Amino acid sequence: MNSAGRHVRRGLSIALLCLASPALAQEGSAPRPPADDVPHDAKHGGWLDPYFDDEDGKLDFSESFSTGGFFPMPVIITEPAVDGGFGIVAQFVDMTPGQPERTTRRMLGGVKTGNGSYGFGFFQSGQAFDGAVSYSFGAGHGKVTLDMYPAFAPGGIEYTNKYQYGLFGSARLHLADRRFSLGPIADFRGLKTRIELPEVEGLPDAFQNDFERKLTTGALGWGFHFDSRDNAVTPRSGLNAFVEGKFNSGIFGSDRNFEIYDADVYAFYPLGEKWTLGAKTELDAARGDFPSFFAPSIDLRGVQAGRYQGGTAWSTEVEVTRQLSPRWSVLGFAGYGTAYAGSSRFFEDSGAVFAGGGGFRYRIARKLGVDAGLDVAFGPDGGIIYIQFGHAWGGGMD
């Protein structure tokens, strides 16, 4: 998925396009804390029992997730691009320890932001045919108002896309070595665009033609994936890498002919019992007659969504996590990104962009190795807060 899609999942557009990763977990991947010396049933009882661990007596959703449980995730948006906002995403996660082929994740949610943007949608991912096929699909509707920073208007231009619908899906067949998979991708959108154009010199006619109109995009594509992570929600070891290409064409109902390419790698390596090193690199590109708002952008914690766009965007980030106890951990991260204008007539090279920050995690499902927490990141335009369920890179990973 391109960088725009990742920012979508991070806040507002989780409801528009509902991008998420399948919840694949293994019981052995989570550290087991020592048994609590106070019996669990002495602390809690009745309807609260499923939400507290039977070993340490702490808040825990393992039992709920393992039986198709419900997890309401608040979406508190501090993203400057949409002037903050709030929403709720209901996550229904069916995670069976030791049987990842039976894992299913469903998300239904909506958000509203300070600049009038809104969205709602549904997403589902899982595996079929005893794990031989991985699938995902979703649908959404909403309105997104953002700023774009083309070369002729460095102060930014506000535009609005009203999505009548957004539909996507994928299916990947696992090969004999089940870490490898490949399969088709589909992405269809219908939207209406609007923009407030400033009076600036050198405003390209082609740029104006991207807006104040209805637009239909339709794409089919293909992806090749590799995944050796021990846990797809909160990995501690392994590698997830993929290359994808989506081809928007009139043959598929698109008003514009253009291509979107992605090549991403996410790696995790344990440094002893208490430390974990993670690294990602994402290379996203758009080619052909792509609308300006489809241009990929730098995707780093601490960088405003869509702030640095171009024909090609590269984002890389390193993260170090320190396990403080069986439940709690802290982390620090730093990233570098750059956007290249390439043949784009509207953008210019961004140069080097740096960001970084820190956060904490709580193991919200001990038996399944799932964390949740909060990150504070700082970039060229200040600080941004993110609420995380699973790993922060989950929007890009499988």
| Rounded Cα distance, 136 and 395, in Å | 13
Query: Got the DSSP string for 170-206?
Result: EEEEE-SSTTEEEEEEEEEEEEEEEE-----TT--HH
For residue 65, name the pLDDT band (cuts at 50, 70, 90): low
- Could you give the 3-state DSSP secondary structure of residue 18? coil
CA distance linking residue 173 with residue 129, whole number of Å = 10
Per-residue pLDDT tens for 285-323? 999 999 999 999 999 999 988 999 999 999 999 999 999
In the chain, where does DSSP find H-type helix? 3-10, 62-66, 205-208
Q: Do the beta carbons of residue 153 and residue 130 sit within 8 Å? A: no
Q: So what's the pLDDT on residue 210?
A: 84
Cβ atoms of 292 and 148 closer than 8 Å: yes
**Number of domains within the chain:** 1
Secondary structure class of 293 (helix, strand, coil): helix
Q: What is the CATH number of the domain that holds 54?
A: 2.40.160.50
Nearest by Cα to 356 from 317, 323, 392, 395: 317
Q: Which helix (H) or strand (E) holds 148?
A: strand 133-148
**Rounded mean pLDDT, 190-197:** 89
Output the average pLDDT for the chain.
83
Sign for the pseudo-dihedral over CA of 75, 96, 30, 325: positive
Neighbours of 34 (CB within 10 A): 8
Of 351 and 209, the one with more pLDDT: 351
Q: Which residues contact 275 (CB under 8 A, 6 or more apart)?
A: 320, 321, 322, 323
Identify the domain containing residue 109 by its residue range. Answer: 3-395
* Torsion angle of the four alpha carbons 319, 324, 330, 333, in this order, in degrees rounded to the nearest 10: -20
Length of the chain: 398
The pLDDT value recorded for residue 21 is: 31
Q: What is the Cα–Cα distance from 106 to 103, expressed in whole angstroms?
A: 10
Span 267-296, mean pLDDT?
96
Beta bridge partners of 242: 225, 264
Q: What are phi and psi of 44, to 5 degrees?
A: -135, 170
The tokens describing 59, both together, are: 């808040």
What's the mean pLDDT in 242-257? 97
- For residues 67 and 131, what is the distance between their CA atoms, to the nearest angstrom? 18
The CA distances from residue 149 to 199, 206, 344, in Å, are 15, 16, 13
Nearest-angstrom CA–CA distance, 311 and 330: 36
CB 25 within 8 A of CB 95: yes
| Confidence (pLDDT) at 274 | 95
Cα–Cα distance, 259 to 199 (Å, whole number): 31
What is residue 96's predicted lDDT score, i.e. its pLDDT?
A: 59
Question: Using CA atoms, how far apart are residues 229 and 240, in angstroms rounded to an integer?
Answer: 7
Beta bridge partners of 374: 360, 387
pLDDT digits (tens, 9 = 90+) for 22-46: 332 333 333 333 333 334 444 555 6
pLDDT at 80: 73
Longest CA span, the chain: 73
CA-to-CA distance for 110 and 87, rounded, in angstroms? 6
**Cα–Cα distance between 294 and 339 in angstroms, integer?**
14
